Structure 1
Amino acid sequence: MKVPEIVKRIGKIDGKRKIYIEDYVLSYLERFKIEETEGNERIVLYGKRERNSCEETYIIYGAEKRDMRGNAEKESFFSECEEVGCLNTDMWKHTEGMCEGILIGDGNGGQPIEGYYIFYEKEPVMGKYLGLTYEEEVKRVPYARQSGKKEEEEKAASSQAELVALSQTEVLPESPVYDIIRAVVICIFIIICAMAITTVNNFEKMEEFKEAAVEMNEALEEP
């Protein structure tokens, strides 16, 4: 296995284990400082490994988010490579370094590393994968916007329907305070009517009394 040309060293290099990571792979891993992953997802590292009596050598050409359940939706983009490690996203997010969280072993786990070498591939497979990933994300953006617009239209239609339904409903029952006020007004009206009737009756009686007095006075004046 041909060892790539070294561009930069990160961290402490173990004499018995040398690790080389392509620069595009690190660019992809950087997004998982922020991006969330689900419980069944793993960031798998792909590449080649070689062991001899003196040392182990790992060359990492790619990294990919994978569903670790048995029924994978599609074949890995890096199927020609083997799984040589994974990324522990929790460790990766909570460190400012570029080593903590990178595990060498297989797609489900491995041993943490203290350092590695960065290299550039002349025809990086990871660069092609990043290009395809970017195209898929660009295609999803209009769909997400369209879905959001549809949800807003459905909410607006629902609100309009509620307003129409509310306008067609009967008047809500009156409050207890309003009932008391109405009862008081009715009582006052009844009292006024009673007083008016009493006044009219008394006036009629007074007129009858006055007429009777006049008639008696005329009778007394006759010879």
Structure 2
Amino acid sequence: MFDDISKRYDNLNQILTFGLHKKWRQRAIDLIDNNPEKILDIATGTADFAIAAKKLNPKSIIGIDISEKMIEIGNKKLKRKNLNNFIRLKIADSQNLPFEDNYFDAITIGFGVRNFEEIEKSISEAYRVLKKDGILLIMEPSTKNNKFLSFLSKFYFEVIVTNIGYLFSKNSSAYNYLSESVKAFIDGETFLKILDEAKFKNCKHLKFSFGIIDLYWAKK
């Protein structure tokens, strides 16, 4: 599915979020306060979160995704920005990360967790490859707010995202899936429990942009 929409993904992301996705990522990155040397971006897509993480001045950044076409576009973007020697992208599955234990200082996952086949397994893998005191940062869209904000966010995902997505990509199923997956994703309290059961500590759940975005912060 993500291969099918890969060519228009970045443009649609800009349109559908009114350009706010960049600010969301930057705000999230600012919460990584352990001066990481090695960063992993899981479900990197076209590498936007990996690029945003550059402001932390790490020694290396690796982005992984299961979509070959997303990785291809991400690599082209990195080359245009002269970042292809600093940020490396590779095809890999979040449930079976090809890295040794205790390797990364920070892990980011932007808009990807709800697409994981086995969330608990992927979160456990993230824990495994993080160093002690390493930070896990997860960002997801949400419709679970108070009644008024829930109405606005559901309208946004069900009407705006689905229709504009179809208009520009001609792939209605992909953007219907996006809307449905956001609505079906577990609530904040349940997700915090998953982080806790994976042995993460100091787990926090933050909201911004009127509750449309959920941010989860945890430490190993």
Q: TM-score normalised by the shorter chain: which range applies?
A: under 0.3
Question: Normalising by the residue count of structure 2, what TM-score does the alignment of the two structures yield?
Answer: 0.23
Larger Rg: 1
